[in-house]
């Protein structure tokens, strides 16, 4: 009840907070607007939404370009839903973290400990290694690469055929396959479907009203998804999402994602401080080398030396980015309705953030 009351109070004061904080960062916001308009023209993307918060309050939130080119539908960062792609992994990781807090899962137990029907491999791997892309599993299930109808029914059979590609924790290899497995473990210990568990422990907990699974049925506030075909922007082919909700296939708005990011910045909005630390802290290879990835989150320093964590994503019809700067208490998210651009979005966003961070470091 306290969490619900907190969320309702936050929404009630949101417009006032937005107005006051925007005034504080007027100069930076004007620069950001100009740079994003220029960026959109450079990459020739249909549209994008960018939202930034400082100390939990939105200081910038705007849409650029179009959600629908043909009908000239403009983007509203509070309503227009994009594909968030692999940012979904942070939702899965947070759900996993909540089950750890409830005593249902231990990060250091093996996958076979929870799924006894899972075939054994040459090496055991833990939940922590799965969440950090250290398990040795390939990027995608072998048959999923060729079978567009690959489903959970295929998982155990295909898993028994697919071998690990390396000894766990001897290298890092990004693996959606590993997150599929984490999703099955979450379901087993949660006692409900993965998406119901994600909704209960993360989405509803934060009041994310515009964050939902991509079912292929869209309302008027969902952007059209675009891809590059024959060097031209065209409507994307349908996405296959039926068994991809652990690693991707969620829709959201940039303003919802800012709330999500603040849930990863401040303890007890979703998870306690110790659990958040375990998700965000970089893991290490057996040789001691840092991976710059925790459990469902990367963590690193940007070009200017500022520490941050979060996730990026790309999937059919969309590019996404969510960064959290804990020292400065800044969260930024960017969503684009095109899945391929010719510029480094990461560097561009870091350049934009530098102005805000510089102002904060100089005591505003």
- Three-state SS for 128-195 is HHHHCCCCCCCCCCHHHHCCCCCCHHHHHHHHHHCCCCCCCCCCCCCCHHHHHHHHHHHHHHHCCCHH
Q: What distance in Å separates the CA atoms of residue 170 and residue 193, rounded to the nearest whole number?
A: 33
Give the tokens for residue 232. 């031209």
Report pLDDT digits (tens) over 280-326: 999 999 999 999 999 999 999 999 999 999 999 999 999 999 999 99
**Residues linked to residue 323 through DSSP beta bridges, in sequence order:** 310, 332
Among candidate residues 93, 280, 291, 315, the one with its CA nearest the CA of residue 173: 291
Q: What distance in Å separates the CA atoms of residue 225 and residue 314, rounded to the nearest whole number?
A: 12
Section 271-275 average pLDDT: 98
Report pLDDT digits (tens) over 86-120: 999 999 999 999 999 999 999 999 999 999 889 99
Residue 13 pLDDT grade (very low, low, confident, very high; cuts 50, 70, 90): very low
Query: Which residue in this structure is represented by tokens 């979060």?
Result: 310
Kind and range of the H or E element at 332? strand 330-336
Give the model's pLDDT for residue 9: 46
Among candidate residues 10, 12, 32, 9, the one with its CA nearest the CA of residue 22: 32
Report pLDDT digits (tens) over 31-45: 999 999 999 999 999
Burial class (CB in 10 A: 0-12, 13-18, 19+), 244: buried
Residue 133 pLDDT grade (very low, low, confident, very high; cuts 50, 70, 90): very high
């Amino acid at each position: 009840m306290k969490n619900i009351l907190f969320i309702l109070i936050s929404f009630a004061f949101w417009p006032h907070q937005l107005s006051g904080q925007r005034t504080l960062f007027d100069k930076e916001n004007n620069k950001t607007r100009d740079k994003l308009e220029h960026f959109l023209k450079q990459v020739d993307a249909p549209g994008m939404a960018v939202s930034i918060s400082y100390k939990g309050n939105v200081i910038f939130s705007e849409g650029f370009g179009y959600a629908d080119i043909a009908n000239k539908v403009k983007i509203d960062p509070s309503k227009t839903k994009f594909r968030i792609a692999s940012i979904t992994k942070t939702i899965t990781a947070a759900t996993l973290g909540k089950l750890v807090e409830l005593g249902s899962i231990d990060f250091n137990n093996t996958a076979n400990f929870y799924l006894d029907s899972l075939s054994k491999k040459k090496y055991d791997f833990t939940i922590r290694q799965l969440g950090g892309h250290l398990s040795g599993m390939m990027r995608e299930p072998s048959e999923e690469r060729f079978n567009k109808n690959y489903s959970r029914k295929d998982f155990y059979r295909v898993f028994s055929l697919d071998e690990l590609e390396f000894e766990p924790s001897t290298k890092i290899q990004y693996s959606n396959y590993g997150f599929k497995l984490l999703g099955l473990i979450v379901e087993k210990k949660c006692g409900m479907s993965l998406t119901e568990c994600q909704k209960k422990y993360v989405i509803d907990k934060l009041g994310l009203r515009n964050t939902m699974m991509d079912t292929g049925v869209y309302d008027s506030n969902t952007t059209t998804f675009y891809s590059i075909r024959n060097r031209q922007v065209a409507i994307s082919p349908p996405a296959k999402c039926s068994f991809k909700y652990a690693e991707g296939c969620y829709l959201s708005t940039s303003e919802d994602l800012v709330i999500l990011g603040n849930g990863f910045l401040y303890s007890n909005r979703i998870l306690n401080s110790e659990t958040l630390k375990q998700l965000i802290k970089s893991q290490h290879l057996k040789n001691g080398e840092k991976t710059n990835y925790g459990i469902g989150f990367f963590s690193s320093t940007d070009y200017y030396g500022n520490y941050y964590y979060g996730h990026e994503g790309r999937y059919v019809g969309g590019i996404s980015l969510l960064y959290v700067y804990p020292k400065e208490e800044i969260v930024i998210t960017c969503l684009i309705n095109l899945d391929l651009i010719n510029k480094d979005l990461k560097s561009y966003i870091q350049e934009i953030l530098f102005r805000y961070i510089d102002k904060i470091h100089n005591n505003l």
